[in-house]
Amino acid sequence: MLPGWSVRESVPRVVYSYCIGRASLPPILKTRTMATYTLEQLAEAKTLPCTRCKGTGIRERIIDREAGVDIPARPCVACDGLQTFNAPDVTYLLGLIKGRKSGTLRSRRPENPRAYYVWRFARFHGGQDVTLPMQASFEVMGDPFIPLLDAIAERVAQTVYGTDLAGSLRWAHAMGHEVSDAYMRGEILPPSAMPGGPVVMDGNKPYSEQAELV
């Protein structure tokens, strides 16, 4: 079983110990900022404003007189007009993505958008599916806690697959970058991390993600 999957601590402590306090995480994760929040601040926050509507809950009216377009204001599609997002329940999310066997992820995507995001990005980082996780990103648009979900996904990938570098290494090669030995950290990476290797290592690609294969 993954460390932290059955913990009974409060959510902020689970997040901090699971994502930030582990020595195996790259040091940059302990201090980096995403938008205006550090991971520590995200771990302590209870609610934060939607990043798509900036907390107004409204998508502003769109007028283009030359094109004859006049779209009235309407509730924000990201937060459904609620203006804010509640902090993720990390223990609950981890329970939604774990597999039947100890130390594995479930084979089918979770329905919960945040759990799906963590599941999909863990598969990307770990090399099970190195196609870009566009659908998962779309389903959590506007969520200010995305950097925290990213950190959780990286930690899950390290624990389940033994690395969180496979997806980024595959795309670094695709974009023509040279990858140093220091970046590799001596890890043994799956074939999907290498140029010309498979992009999906199992048959668990959801139908909703088929466009990512194009």
Tell me the pLDDT tens digit for each residue of 70-123. 888 899 999 999 999 999 999 999 999 999 998 999 999 999 999 999 999 999
- Look at residue 93 and tell me if it is in a domain: yes
In angstroms, what is the C-alpha Rg of the chain? 19
Q: Do residue 99 and residue 80 come from a single domain?
A: no
Q: Do residue 77 and residue 108 come from a single domain?
A: no
DSSP 118-140: HHHHHHHHHTSB-S--HHHHHHT
The larger pLDDT score, comparing residue 135 to residue 177, is at: 135
The domain boundary, picked from 86, 110, 139, lies at 86
How far is it, in rounded angstroms, from Cα 106 to Cα 119? 8
**Helices 113-126 & 146-161, crossing angle to 10 degrees?**
50
Q: Do residue 117 and residue 164 come from a single domain?
A: yes
- Look at residue 68 and tell me if it is in a domain: yes
Most confident of the following: 40-44, 127-131, 172-176, 187-191: 127-131
- What's the pLDDT at 5? 37
- What's the pLDDT at 192? 92
The domain tally of the chain equals 2
Altogether, the residues listed in the chain come to a count of 214
Give yes or no for a contact between 20 and 4, defined as CB atoms under 8 angstroms apart: no
Instruction: Indicate the pLDDT class of residue 32, thresholds 50, 70 and 90.
Output: very low
Backbone CA torsion sign across 122, 182, 185, 196: positive
82: containing domain: 50-86
- Look at residue 3 and tell me if it is in a domain: no
Q: Do residue 102 and residue 198 come from a single domain?
A: yes
